[in-house]
Structure 1
Amino acid sequence: MRQILPPILAALALTGMLAGPVAAQLQVPGLPVPGVGSALDDLTDRVGDTVETADRTAAREARRLLRLRERTLDRLIQRNPAVIERDTQGDLARRGELLAIASSAGDLLALEQAGFGILAREEIEGLAVAVHRLAVPSGMPLAEAERLASGIAPDLELSADHLHFEAGGESSRTSATLTPPGLAAVSGATIDLPVGIIDGASSKAVPVAAQKGFARGAPLASDHGTSVASLLHFTGARRLLVADVYGSDPAGGNALAIARALGWLAASGSKVVSISLVGPRNALVERAVKSAQQRGVVIVAAVGNDGPAAPPAFPASYSDVLAITGVDRKGRALIEAGRALHLDYAAPGADVRALDARGRSMVLRGTSYAAPLAAARVAAAIGGGTNWRPRLDAEARDLGAKGHDTTYGRGLLCSGCGKRK
């Protein structure tokens, strides 16, 4: 447990003046300290100014990250107007398509009469979730079509085919030797439990048990997917199943691809699934997540790197998904970390070493890389035949306020994992 200074001592330490004569006199908490009243008043003012400056800096950074997020989304639409557009909430989705879950024949008939086309019906493998892909009426914007369909069939569970994006951040190449530091240093064991990954594909630089594509051109090795897989491998996971939801598709990472990927992983025996992607709330993905959880799958997801002012990250925010944030090597929360509707744990998210698609060592930053480290600890606990939650809680190092908090969740997992040596 990190020791918490009394407020006035913390303030003095923050200003760098808890030293010399003043420090010598502050030995008995609660008693007057002769001769330092004016000094303390001055310090209080300076501490207030420091905290206010820090708050302004954090708020400015949050706004910058939010603007960067919006510019990134705008550029993606501008580059791919034929396949991507915004829905009623302004979120990015596959152009011209809606997803209807568990539709009734009456609802589908009413939508067809209004000009919607039924492109396909399928049941998601391994999850018993039925979905219809609907084509919107010709020439109608997605947002308008979504409102029209909701008016025609108000009880229908309907959503756009939302896009999800990698939760990776900054990276740099390094010539340092990549020595697996992970699980061996933590528990001295490897993980034989099948662990799933929903991301881009991994290259041959990381051995995986199976890999399957759920997007055009998939599986296609990516730096992000390879990095996530390498972190799980280095932390002891030896039976990796990788679902590539991106491939070469500009509208990759969509909700239907993620639901299909989750179904395949559940049917293939994955008991833990690591997801370092973020997107908006989506009815199909939420239904797929719940179905997988009912089949005993624990889903671990990153909160993203769009900052605290961004919308809540999904799938991290779905019920019972383990939401993971990142910390730097000093145990401080990443300033760019996004938020979820709940937070479970933190894991290393800065100065993390992993591999790129060419097998080169990279130094990485972002909550993308915290999620697989946390997932490895979940898998180790499940593979050990114990109740995984109490084991993780016992292992987690408490940071910040005592107990569960909104900055670090229930504490830091895998603190020795992913570090440079």
Structure 2
Amino acid sequence: MPRISPLFALFAALAAPLAAQVGLPGVQLPRVGGVLGQVGELVDDTLDRTDRIARDLARDRLRMIDRLVRRHGDAIALDARGEPARWGEVLLMDAGEDALARAGAAGFVLLETVELADLGMRVSRLRVPAALELGEAERVLERLLPSVTIAPDNLHFQSGDAGPVPLALAAAAGGAGRTPVGMIDGAPGRSVTVAATRGFADGAPYPSNHGSAVASLLASQHAGPIRVADVYGTDSAGGNALAIARGLGWLVGQGSKVVTISLVGPRNLVLERAIAGARKRGVVVVAAVGNDGPAAPPAYPASYDGVVAVTAVDGKRRALIEAGRALHLDYAAPGADIHGLNAKGKRIVLRGTSFATPLVAARLARAIERGGDWRRVLDSEAEDLGKKGADPVYGRGLLCGSCTGR
């Protein structure tokens, strides 16, 4: 059934009293111009309120970043674009011995070189000279090594609220499938059974509410093996690009065919290259568009080429007002009025695009098992919402519309 536009609904609500009065003797009919004026005022007020919310969400994101840098100034700094990254470190991709030697002569210290063979790439971590801010260090290296790809180690944030409201524990809905699915997030608690968990940050694996909720939703719809790369642990600068790339490399090497990522950050050349490497191996990456609102910058990794970008709806199939945006949008799934498990195994209320993403990943894994074109299978399952066909609010349609979590 097509979705009724807010403007049409608004007009219908105002026009209903008018229609009821037509033909009644002695009743003064309102002037049409007056009704339309009321419609215009209400629509303008609705649009203004939506714009204000979008602006507030964008400001909240900037405030969050500022607080984070102030609180963890010894671990987090702003890069040349003003985005949060690991303090005092830069990344070089596929740098040769000569490039590393030139960087060393300029005061940069090689910390390690990470071989990500399953992604076809090599990353070198360099310590920034004490006299340089992170953004300055990027510019120095760009001038010194113009042919080398240089990137900060940007941070990515979980895109959902694993609410604190405990409810009675319910049995899992159960799923189907044998396709191995990987997950990059925090580690799940013991109440969620997964095939393997591996840490890629200080203190990892360490159970988190967000990781537990995402894993519980994935497990509720997918019975095949689930492997989790914990990129947070207890690290103040967890969720960085190199940790995610390492986790992705491990999941690809372990045979994951689908990888779900409910994290959001800025564009990062290291992570972009890692995802391209995974796609070359036939792996499909599914990612959330985030919860910073439509006025925020495009979400990554959801905006990288070939990544399946996911937004969320509530129990009434309305798009979440805080849903972020990506450079493209593929599908929507429930991300509010659903439940999952926290790190202690308690059933909790969830809200955010984080929680729609594993539901789409589970559907995608099932589609892969059928063989052929998984996109065709998902499109046939998707319920068209909003404007007819693909649109920027719901993408190609709603998947797993009846899913309520665990």
**Which TM bucket (shorter chain)?**
over 0.9
Decide whether aligned partners of structure 1 residues 165 and 5 sit closer, same or farther in structure 2, where only a CA change above 3 A counts.
closer
Bigger Cα displacement from structure 2, 102-111 vs 374-383? 102-111
Bigger Cα displacement from structure 2, 109-118 vs 72-81? 109-118
Partner Cα distance (1:112, 1:256) in 2:
21
Q: Which residue of 2 aligns with 1:12?
A: 11
1:288 aligns with 2:278: no
1:6 offset after TM fit, Å? 11
1:337 aligns with 2:323: yes
Decide whether aligned partners of structure 1 residues 37 and 5 sit closer, same or farther in structure 2, where only a CA change above 3 A counts.
farther
Task: Output aligned runs, 1:369-388, within 5 Å.
Answer: 369-388=355-374
Count of equivalent residues: 403
Decide whether aligned partners of structure 1 residues 50 and 257 sit closer, same or farther in structure 2, where only a CA change above 3 A counts.
same
Q: Which residue of 2 aligns with 1:22?
A: 19
Decide whether aligned partners of structure 1 residues 335 and 90 sit closer, same or farther in structure 2, where only a CA change above 3 A counts.
same
Bigger Cα displacement from structure 2, 259-268 vs 97-106? 97-106
1:75 offset after TM fit, Å? 1.7
Q: For residue 316 of structure 1, what is the amino acid of its counterpart?
A: A
Partner Cα distance (2:361, 2:101) in 1:
44
1:228 offset after TM fit, Å? 0.5
1:51 aligns with 2:50: no
- The 8 Å contact of residues 178 and 353 in structure 1, kept in 2 or not, is answered as no
Percent of matched pairs sharing the same residue = 51
Choose from 199, 209, 212 the match for 2:185: 199
SS at match of 1:98: strand
Query: Could you list the runs of 5+ residues in structure 2 that have no partner in the other structure?
Result: none
Q: Which residue of 2 aligns with 1:41?
A: 33
- The 8 Å contact of residues 174 and 223 in structure 2, kept in 1 or not, is answered as no
Q: Which residue of 1 aligns with 2:255?
A: 269
Question: What are the Cα deviations for residues 217-247 of structure 1, in whole angstroms up to 9, with x where unaligned?
Answer: 1000111001000001111333110000000
Partner Cα distance (2:342, 2:21) in 1:
53
Q: For residue 236 of structure 1, what is the amino acid of its counterpart?
A: H
Q: Which residue of 2 aligns with 1:239?
A: 225
Task: Output aligned runs, 1:2-401, within 5 Å.
Answer: 2=2, 4=4, 10-13=9-12, 16-19=13-16, 22=19, 39-169=31-161, 171-181=163-173, 183=175, 190-401=176-387
TM-score (norm 2): 0.94
Partner Cα distance (2:399, 2:94) in 1:
39
SS at match of 1:351: strand
1:355 offset after TM fit, Å? 0.2
Partner Cα distance (1:20, 1:135) in 2:
70
Partner Cα distance (1:12, 1:142) in 2:
54
- The 8 Å contact of residues 312 and 356 in structure 2, kept in 1 or not, is answered as yes
1:40 offset after TM fit, Å? 2.5
Q: Which residue of 2 aligns with 1:28?
A: none
Query: Could you list the runs of 5+ residues in structure 1 that have no partner in the other structure?
Result: 26-34, 184-189
Question: What are the Cα deviations for residues 30-66 of structure 1, in whole angstroms up to 9, with x where unaligned?
Answer: xxxxx99963322211111111111111111112112
Stretches of 4+ aligned residues off by more than 6 angstroms: none
Decide whether aligned partners of structure 1 residues 385 and 139 sit closer, same or farther in structure 2, where only a CA change above 3 A counts.
same
Partner Cα distance (2:180, 2:43) in 1:
47
